[in-house]
Structure 1
């Protein structure tokens, strides 16, 4: 039995050396004069190496039960910290690298805050590297004799550009996809408004919303929605890069692309905060590891960068992209005109006005209610009620709606059930095509 245990220990020792080798070489590089004295920034290639090496090490340690071993728990937690901070750093580095191509307006503060965020992530990794090396020594894991050098991690940008020789004009039959994407962008932006704020939060306020309102699960849900939006755009609208093609469409892509990468970063930082800094179980080993991580990665600063940078600018770019999305939507929607009766017997009071406006806002395209010589915005409850007053005063019995044919189709269905109410003004069940109005 003892011989089997010894053999297993030898096997584990060799495996942990192999799985730690490149990970520790990265740590050696981060603590080297190249980084500490010459001030080299961490590149995407280095972040990528840190992500890959820390993940395989973390998986190896988890497989062998490090989360339940007092000797190996901290080494495992450090590998998780490196992975999540490097994933966040990779996304933030990508944003800064691509900013010149995004064609976003008034981004000076965004760029400054982005660099501040990246510096925090970089300095956190720099602080962790010597602790990781010391922990490896304590566990008798051999430290590599050689480190990586700056030449192993070049930056992604060069002064050269490849020749533009593939036509990147719009794809055939893309109009319906443009409409769908612009519509989905508006829906995501409207739902995300629940998180909106217009000035930085104090730390006390941030602690009241993380994780109760803002948490990894919520942010990653929106990350997936925006990722699907970007994927659809690249598949069905414009496949190529940013420099050519229909500028307005690519400007819209810039808005949801930068939001996507902000959400990526936020998701990783929130995971790290919720899983590794905020809670750590009741055992002393867990609490000790959490305290050590909190010393290396300032939880307050992490929350500030997650909310006052990540969330703030995600809200900002979703909001500023709305006008562009509506413009693109209205340029590409199929337009139509329908004539329908008015609600019996109370006209366009609150319920019918609200349901019509919800239909129009659901699709996002422009629709006008035409009553006599008057034209009213059918996405506005107040405008529809103004129209209702005119209809009543002039004894109008029929109105027309002009605009987005998708919305008109549903308004016609809604009118067919007297705009969702009976003759006494009580609400009635809506057809299944309109179930979204009850959500």
Structure 2
């Protein structure tokens, strides 16, 4: 039996000092490489970020298991590893965007590409500043420094001048319209919910500090990241299995919009975690404040916030907004259309409440629906349009009207009409059927 393995425990009895050396070894080799001199942007490949992520994470977990969060000697070394991990995760997401941008087929990406390079520059600069400090901290803790470092040959980029032949035709995949409709509708729903975080021009650092973390924070961004990731997964599973190069251009452009948003949200989530957990709240103990100040001198909190908000949030809003028109176009090309005839609201007609209820139903599904009165057609997603129609209905003493368009919305409009559009004959609100609980 191996002498380091006990019969009853089944694990290797190695001292803390030896294990911290082992768990630090490749991590420190990365740090020596980063500290070897100013590295060009091309040196920061996905493989380098991945190595930094994996080595810093196992080290951080090891230190946490042994109580480094509550030890004044080891706390700084642990916090430095956490900073490296989250910066590297953010850098990996940004590198993915940069590598894939040529395939995304998005319009007018020059400014986005330039802003992305600046964001990557901030992350890379911070990692290079952290590296020599980490090495010195390891020496202070008597952790042996590796004799040899990694080199650029250990971290090749993922892109080459070659491309594998396109030999699987994703056009032959059975594309079901119901999945396309569902995904386009969900994209519109996410875009609408994201409007609460809407940013359509750069903010000053003072405005950003008011925004983060009160409105824009890791929890909120991770929530959106999850729903966008689910959207992308559904698309890849049920719509188009292949890559970006061929196939239905509109569908792949729509995927590009939510894919780039997903990776921006990934980056934002990591940077916001670093800010909120390690740079913003120092805690009540002096050692926490001292380490926070050291980290802030290496990773400028204001630059991190500007990168997160004026790059990440700004362009996430931009691509969600610009993708709306495309999503609506795809949705209306694939929805099942129908026609219903329903009574008008009794006895007050299409005044504010019933008009709003109908418009909310149409907006919820995102497909086109029109209120039809003779030769006249009104946009049923617009409260104002429905109220204009209400004037014609009242003038001509019409009792029943037609709605045409997305059958999903028509079904719910029928339910609403059966409940007199959510009000009694005096115009007071009444409880809605369970099927319409999303209107409450």
Tell me if both proteins adopt one fold, taking TM over 0.5 as the criterion. Answer: yes
- Give the length in aligned residue pairs: 429
CA distance in 1, matches of 2:14, 2:70: 20
- The equivalent position to 2:30 in structure 1, one of 26, 41, 60, is 26
CA distance in 2, matches of 1:38, 1:403: 55
RMSD: 1.3
Q: Which residue of 1 aligns with 2:118?
A: 116
- The equivalent position to 1:392 in structure 2, one of 391, 394, 403, is 394
TM-aligned CA distance change 1:10 to 1:236, over 3 Å: closer
TM-aligned CA distance change 1:175 to 1:351, over 3 Å: same
Q: Which residue of 2 aligns with 1:283?
A: 285
CA distance in 1, matches of 2:13, 2:258: 50
Q: Which residue of 2 aligns with 1:172?
A: 174
CA distance in 2, matches of 1:292, 1:58: 18
Contact 2:41 2:121 in 1 (8 A): no
1:435 deviates by: 0.6
Asked if 1:15 is matched to 2:26, the reply is no
CA distance in 2, matches of 1:352, 1:170: 45
Q: Which residue of 1 aligns with 2:4?
A: none
5+ residue gaps, structure 2:
1-11
- The equivalent position to 1:62 in structure 2, one of 52, 64, 80, is 64
Deviations 1:320-352 (A, max 9, x none): 000000000000000000001111111100000
Q: Which residue of 2 aligns with 1:199?
A: 201
Deviations 1:262-296 (A, max 9, x none): 00000000000000000121211111100000000
Q: Which residue of 2 aligns with 1:362?
A: 364
5+ residue gaps, structure 1:
1-7
CA distance in 2, matches of 1:334, 1:9: 66
1:171 deviates by: 2.9
CA distance in 2, matches of 1:415, 1:39: 61
1:373 deviates by: 1.9
- Secondary structure (helix, strand or coil) at the match of 1:50 reads helix
- Secondary structure (helix, strand or coil) at the match of 1:169 reads helix
How do 1:28-177 and structure 2 match up within 5 A? 28-33=32-37, 36=38, 40-169=42-171, 171-177=173-179
TM-score by length of 1: 0.96
Deviations 1:104-162 (A, max 9, x none): 11111111110000000000000000000000000000000111111100011100010
Q: Which residue of 1 aligns with 2:259?
A: 257
Deviations 1:17-69 (A, max 9, x none): 00000000000111124xx2666531000000000000000000000000111
User: Would you identify which runs of 4 or more consecutive aligned residues in structure 1 move more than 6 Å?
Assistant: none
CA distance in 2, matches of 1:177, 1:121: 38
CA distance in 1, matches of 2:284, 2:196: 34
CA distance in 1, matches of 2:383, 2:80: 55
CA distance in 2, matches of 1:107, 1:85: 24
Contact 2:282 2:289 in 1 (8 A): yes
CA distance in 2, matches of 1:228, 1:170: 24
Q: Which residue of 2 aligns with 1:233?
A: 235
CA distance in 2, matches of 1:367, 1:431: 21
TM-aligned CA distance change 1:26 to 1:59, over 3 Å: same
CA distance in 2, matches of 1:171, 1:377: 35
CA distance in 1, matches of 2:213, 2:248: 40
TM-score by length of 2: 0.96
Q: Which moved more, 1:310-319 or 1:415-424?
A: 415-424
TM-aligned CA distance change 1:29 to 1:356, over 3 Å: same
Q: Which residue of 2 aligns with 1:347?
A: 349
Q: Which moved more, 1:366-375 or 1:76-85?
A: 366-375
